[in-house]
Amino acid sequence: MNYYCDKCKGTTKNCETCDNPSCPNQPCCGRPLRECDCNPLTETRLIEIEIGSVFALGEIENDQEKTWLYNFDPGIKLLWLAKRGVIHDWTIYIGPAKNGKQWVLDYGNKITDEKMAKKLVPMKKDAWKMYRR
C-alpha cells in the first residue's frame, strides 16, 4: 500500500503523509489523510494509481447511531480500504478491523453514500464520478 503525493510525484509506504522531506506539501496540515482537505483525490490522481491497488486505508469506530455499519455494535473498530478498480473506477470497502484487510476486501460492505465516502477520502467531484457504488 502506497500513498501517492501529487505535489512531489513521490510515494511512500505510509498512507497518512508524504515522507519526502523536500516535498512542497510538507508539513501539510499534520492531519491524517482521511481528515486532510489540503490534497483531495482527483480523477487525474486516480488514473495514475495502479489498477487493483489499495491506495488509502484507516480505522474508525462504529458510533452510537451505527452510522458506518448498522449490523455491528457501537464501539467496534472498523477497517476501511479505498481500492482502485480495473475499469476506470474505485470504491471503499469497510468491515470489522479484527477480520483483516483481505477479509474486508473480499466480504466487506461497500460505502455507497457520497457524504460518508468523502469523510474517509477527501475528493473532488471528478473523483466521485469515477466511484463505483
Q: What is the pLDDT of residues 59-68, one digit of tens each?
A: 888 876 656 6
Q: What is the distance between the alpha carbons of residues 2 and 10, in angstroms, rounded to a whole number? A: 10
Would you give the DSSP letter of residue 99? G
Burial grade of 65 (CB within 10 A; 0-12, 13-18, 19 or more)? exposed
Beta strands 109-110 and 3-5 are unpaired
* One-letter amino acid of 59: E
What pLDDT, on a 0 to 100 scale, did the predictor assign at position 91? 96
What pLDDT, on a 0 to 100 scale, did the predictor assign at position 69? 67
Q: What is the distance between the alpha carbons of residues 3 and 41, in angstroms, rounded to a whole number? A: 11
What average pLDDT score do residues 120-125 get? 88
Per-residue pLDDT reduced to its tens digit, 66-97:
566 666 777 888 899 999 999 889 999 999 99
Question: Does residue 65 sit in helix, strand or coil?
Answer: coil
